């Protein structure tokens, strides 16, 4: 538990890679020095005191394990700092036969045949405290059947030192059934083949506390070369393994969340590409091969159209912005831009639903103001409510009249004769904000050569800033040859903008249908 004083101090800064590299170098230098100490200690003591030699060697082995753990965890920390998605980092536990497939403690309880539990209130964790409180020694004499356990080892197993240690026959009954073959194999290799012991297993104490123990030992030979006893140092690594499981589970959760995010983004992109108009470059509407009887006449003024989608700064989330141009059965042209609040699949699916409704009502002949009112009704009764800003316009090429309505959205910009201005905006609030809201519409008569710019307001960080910057492009836009060149001009001006959301721009230039 953190000290109460920690609330008075700012949180520590996250570790830097160069700091971690320095710690790793220090750890590796200590590891090399420890190897030298281990060799010198064994050489200096020789055979003067076998017990002392074993104890010194055990302390060195213990320090080696501690430094190896530290070096491994620092390496994982460094890789985590150097890569945003550490999905290729392999956990060291996967190479550990004891920890691989290590079940959570409640699952392991069933294997042990008892309701094993971790440390709880009223049971002081042996694994916390000084280093020596987690380390004990044991010796099993095969000639006299004598068992010698240190007091520290008894406490690790939850036993009273006065009760003594467990015999090699009793010890397996304290070990999880899954780990019993590990213990049996280590003991057999040591006693029969004279191999050193180095492995881990989990035990359930009489107080039902689960501990993970690392055992390192070796056989003690008699004068005739036979094994007289087995001597070992046991280290309580429960807290270390619990921390490793927590890190592993957190990493797996992070990987899972990132996989979900990637999948959702791919789906959002696919929905967006399937719904937005497939045309690239300029589009001319009304088209000569459009609806029967609705083609342009010699006196009609058609629209040269181009559009562009600008992603957000991070490109991590796809929004619900759209642009659309559609030839209607009566020869009119539908123009619309808009955007939903939010990101991801929900926003793009909502955009697809709304755009389908806009197209359907426009084809049915519903005027822009009434169309906005019905969209608002649709959103207010939707099971997934959203706020939507939009502009919907209907252009008549015969009269060159633009009828349009808006819902909490910036007005289209009209560029004519070297000047630019926003169109007078009709009344209208965000779609989905208020049930029964009224939406009016305005009309604007256009002239050949006029340029209309419809945008979703997110080209810049604030809508007013976007409008001012678009108007500042007036000389370039009015001098451009065609709508596509105008789109390139806008994309160049706003392409590197640090936008928090994606944006769309739709440009229409009034042309002579005979051109």
The CATH number of the domain holding residue 347 is: 3.60.40.10
123: its two tokens: 């049971």
Same-domain pairing of 65 and 114: no
- Specify the CATH number for the domain of residue 152: 3.30.450.20
What value does the mean pLDDT take over residues 311-320?
70
Same-domain pairing of 472 and 374: yes
12: its two tokens: 């520590």
What is the tens place of the pLDDT at every residue in 332-366? 999 999 988 877 788 888 888 888 999 999 999 99
Q: Is residue 265 in a domain?
A: no
First to last CA, the chain: 79
Report the DSSP beta bridge partners of residue 227: 221
| Total number of residues shown for the chain | 515
Same-domain pairing of 358 and 499: yes
Q: Is residue 63 in a domain?
A: yes
Q: DSSP for 458-482?
A: -SSSSHHHHHHHHHTTHHHHHHSSS
Same-domain pairing of 103 and 43: no
CB-facing half-sphere around the CA of 108: CA atoms within 13 A: 25
Greatest mean pLDDT among 59-73, 103-117, 119-133, 337-351 lies in 337-351
Same-domain pairing of 55 and 152: no
Same-domain pairing of 453 and 502: yes
Domain of residue 358, residue span = 281-512
Same-domain pairing of 304 and 406: yes
Q: Is residue 75 in a domain?
A: yes
Between 297 and 86, name the one with better pLDDT. 297
Domain boundary among 236, 266, 299: 236
Confidence of residue 184 (pLDDT cuts 50, 70, 90): very high
Contact yes or no for 186/204 (Cβ under 8 A): no
CA distances from 147 to 142, 153, 169, 206, 473 (A): 9, 12, 11, 19, 91
**Is the predicted pLDDT of residue 56 greater than 50, yes or no?**
yes
Mean pLDDT of the chain: 79
Angle at 310 between CA 362 and CA 464, to 5 degrees: 80
pLDDT of 43 reads: 63
pLDDT of 124 reads: 37
pLDDT of 317 reads: 66
| Residue ranges of E strands in 144-226 | 147-149, 197-204, 210-221
Same-domain pairing of 61 and 149: no
Same-domain pairing of 109 and 74: no
How many domains are contained in the chain?
Answer: 3
Torsion of CA 164, 166, 168, 173, to 10 degrees: 170
CA distances from 255 to 216, 247, 249, 252 (A): 35, 12, 10, 5
375-385 per-residue burial string, b: 16 or more CB within 10 A, e: under 16: bbebbeeeeee
Give the pTM: 0.56
pLDDT of 296 reads: 53
Same-domain pairing of 308 and 377: yes
Task: Give CA 196 to chain center in angstroms.
Answer: 44
Is the backbone of residue 70 left (phi > 0), alpha (psi -120 to 50) or beta?
alpha
pLDDT of 159 reads: 92
Greatest mean pLDDT among 229-238, 296-305, 312-321 lies in 229-238
379 contact partners, CB below 8 Å, separation of at least 6: 354, 385, 386, 388, 431, 432
Between 222 and 514, name the one with better pLDDT. 222
Domain boundary among 212, 236, 260: 236
Confidence of residue 399 (pLDDT cuts 50, 70, 90): very high
What is the tens place of the pLDDT at every residue in 248-292? 887 788 888 888 878 877 887 787 777 777 776 678 887 655 555
Same-domain pairing of 179 and 326: no
Same-domain pairing of 322 and 412: yes
CA distances from 224 to 139, 141, 191, 213, 228 (A): 19, 16, 15, 32, 10
């Amino acid at each position: 538990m953190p000290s109460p004083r920690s609330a008075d101090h700012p949180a520590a800064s996250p570790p830097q890679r160069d700091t971690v590299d320095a710690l790793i170098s220090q750890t590796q230098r200590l590891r090399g020095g420890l190897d030298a100490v281990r060799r010198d200690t064994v050489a200096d003591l020789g055979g003067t005191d076998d017990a002392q030699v074993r104890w010194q060697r055990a302390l060195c082995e213990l320090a080696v394990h501690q430094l190896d753990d530290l070096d491994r965890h620092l390496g994982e920390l460094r890789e985590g700092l150097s890569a945003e998605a550490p999905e290729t980092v392999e956990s060291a536990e996967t190479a550990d036969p004891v920890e691989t497939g290590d079940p959570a403690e409640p699952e392991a309880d069933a294997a042990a045949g008892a309701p094993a539990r971790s440390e709880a209130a009223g049971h002081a964790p042996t694994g916390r405290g000084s280093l020596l409180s987690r380390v004990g020694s044991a010796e099993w004499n095969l000639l006299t059947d004598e068992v010698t356990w240190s007091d520290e080892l008894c406490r690790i197993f939850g036993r009273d030192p006065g009760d003594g240690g467990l015999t090699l026959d009793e010890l397996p009954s304290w070990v999880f059934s899954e780990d019993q073959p590990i213990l049996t194999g280590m003991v057999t290799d040591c006693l029969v083949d004279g191999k050193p012991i180095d492995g881990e297993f989990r035990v359930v104490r009489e107080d039902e506390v689960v501990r993970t123990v690392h055992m390192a030992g070796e056989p003690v030979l008699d004068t005739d070369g036979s094994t007289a006893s087995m001597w070992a140092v046991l280290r309580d690594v429960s807290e270390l393994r619990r921390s490793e499981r927590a890190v592993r589970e957190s990493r797996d959760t992070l990987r899972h969340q990132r996989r979900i995010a990637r999948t959702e983004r791919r789906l959002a992109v696919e929905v967006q590409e399937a719904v937005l108009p497939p045309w690239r470059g300029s589009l001319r509407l009304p088209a000569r091969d459009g609806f029967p009887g609705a083609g342009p006449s010699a006196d009609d003024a058609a629209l040269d159209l181009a559009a562009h989608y600008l992603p957000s700064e991070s490109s991590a989330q796809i929004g619900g912005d759209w642009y659309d141009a559609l030839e209607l059965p009566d020869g009119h042209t539908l123009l619309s831009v808009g955007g939903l609040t939010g990101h991801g699949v929900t926003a793009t699916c909502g955009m697809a639903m709304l755009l389908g409704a806009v197209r359907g009502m426009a084809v049915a002949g519903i005027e822009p103001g009434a169309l906005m009112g019905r969209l608002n009704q649709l959103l207010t009764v939707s099971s997934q409510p959203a706020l939507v800003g939009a502009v919907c316009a209907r252009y008549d090429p015969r009269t060159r009249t633009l009828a349009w309505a808006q819902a909490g959205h910036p007005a289209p910009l009209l560029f004519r004769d070297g000047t630019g201005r926003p169109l007078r905006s009709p009344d209208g609030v965000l779609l989905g904000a208020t049930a029964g809201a009224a939406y009016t519409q305005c009309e604007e008569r256009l002239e050949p050569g006029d340029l209309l710019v419809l945008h979703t307001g997110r080209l810049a960080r604030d809508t007013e800033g976007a409008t001012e910057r678009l108007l500042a492009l007036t000389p370039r836009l009015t001098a451009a040859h065609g709508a596509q060149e105008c789109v390139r001009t806008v994309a160049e001006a706003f392409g590197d903008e640090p936008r928090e959301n994606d944006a769309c721009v739709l440009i229409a230039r009034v042309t002579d249908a005979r051109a």
